[in-house]
Amino acid sequence: MAKKRVQTKAKRPQLSDAEIPVVGAREPCPCGSGRRYKACHGRAAAHAVTELVQRPFAGLPSECDWVALRELVPAATVELPLKGGLPDGVPSVTLATVLPMAWPALRRDDGSVLLGLQNDTASGDISRDLADTLQQALTAKPGTPVQGRRAPADGPRLQDLLDPEGAFEPVVHTGFEFWVPDAENATPEVAASLERANAAAIPTVKLTGVDAAYWCETPDKNHLRWVMPHPEEQLLDALARLHAAGRSNLGEGTRLVGSFRAHGLTVPVWDLPSGVGAEDVEKPAAEFAERLAAALATDAPLTPDERRARGGLTNRQVTLS
């Protein structure tokens, strides 16, 4: 007969959730329960990591521009101010749409930090993942890239690290020369990489007269993609009112064709003739913003024509995230 396991009356040490380290899913849980980690404290950790945050950039200055740079703009940078100022040895922190080799972040030789925005993230909270990458970059050895990882479920978010009063002013670039301090004297390999990246970038311009509106050029036609902060249902009603009244365009030959849904915000899209540049839609966009404000302030029920217009806009809506 097998020997009976000696029972002990000594109590196992009790650990709080915050004291439970993360281990392999199939390993014994460090809390001492005798169960595997994935069946014990790993359940809550996994849920926290995978739970989708619908508006990860809410509460940050210029939330709409964060969404645009994450989903729509090929090449852009923004200087990021940190709460309490920059650490010693870090002259600047710059958000970039894309970094070489799709690095999550890069600590340059001079100590400055580049944080990539358009990378895949390990959890359902982009803000927490980016904050974790930023913290790693601030202490990384100068001249090294930072690799992505699963952020701690209780780690800080961007909203905890960035100065809420700081400006968020995107600079849209025609290419990715911002990757290297001296692009003109780059090595042949770097020059070739830049050439490939620049060839794939869609020419994009940020409008100056309205917030978070970006003109882009494609071979057949141009577009205006405008990230808006209004609640989706209210915005779609307002767009439908304007569309049914024939007042949703941005000038002759332009057409409101639908919208994207990205990170909890709605992004109306207009088709523009190929000859219409960014400067040509500045005034029409400002005039449309006034019409939209009036439509948003209307709470009357939609007419039959407006309901049909709304149905058409809804059917042409695409979810990016």
Tens-place pLDDT, residues 244-287? 999 999 999 999 999 999 999 999 999 999 999 999 999 999 99
User: Strand runs (DSSP E) across 227-307, as ranges?
Assistant: 255-262, 265-272
pLDDT tens per residue, range 201-232: 999 999 999 999 999 999 889 999 999 999 99
> Is residue 1 predicted with pLDDT exceeding 60?
no
Write down the mean pLDDT value for the chain: 88
Return the pLDDT at 21: 53
Its pTM stands at 0.83
pLDDT of 4 higher than 60: no
Closest CA to 60 of 107, 128, 136, 113: 128
Q: In sequence order, what are the residues at sequence separation of 6 or more whose Cβ sits closer than 8 angstroms to the Cβ of residue 33?
A: 40
**Cβ–Cβ < 8 Å for 268, 296:** no
Give percent of the chain above pLDDT 90: 70
Write the pLDDT tens digit of every residue in 70-102. Answer: 999 999 999 999 999 999 999 999 999 999 888
Least confident of 74-88, 104-118, 145-159, 266-280: 145-159
From the CB of residue 118, how many other CB atoms can be counted at a distance below 10 Å? 14
Using the predicted structure, report yes or no on whether residue 145 has a pLDDT greater than 50. yes
* Per-residue confidence (pLDDT) for residue 181, from 0 to 100: 81
The one-letter amino acid code at 285 reads A
Q: What pLDDT is attached to residue 72? A: 96
Measured CA distances, 22 to 12, 34, 37, 191, 283 (Å): 19, 15, 8, 42, 55
What is the C-alpha separation between 226 and 213, in angstroms, rounded?
4
* Contact call for residues 88 and 109 (beta carbons, < 8 A): no
Query: Would you state the pLDDT for residue 186?
Result: 76
Strands 93-96 and 113-116, by their bridges, are parallel
> b vs e for 72-108, b when ≥16 Cβ sit within 10 Å of the residue's Cβ?
bbbbbbbebbbeeebeeebeebbbbbbbbeebbbbbb
Please tell me the predicted confidence (pLDDT) of residue 8. 40
The lowest-confidence range among 2-16, 87-101, 301-315 is: 2-16
Tell me the sheet residues that pair with 204: 216
**Region 146-158: what's the mean pLDDT?**
91
Predicted local confidence at residue 189, as pLDDT: 80
pLDDT at 24 (0 to 100): 54
257: its two tokens: 């064709």
Query: What's the average model confidence in pLDDT over 184-188?
Result: 78
Q: Specify the 3-state DSSP secondary structure of 298.
A: coil
Q: Is residue 9 scored above 50 in pLDDT? A: no
Whether the CB-CB separation of 52 and 73 falls below 8 Å is answered with: no
The answer to whether the Cα torsion of 262, 263, 267, 271 is positive or negative is negative
CA 215 – CA 90 distance, rounded (Å)? 34
Residue 190: Cβ within 10 Å count: 14
Report pLDDT for 27. Answer: 65
pLDDT score for 133: 97
Residue 281 in tokens: 């839609």
60 — pLDDT class (breaks 50, 70, 90):
very high
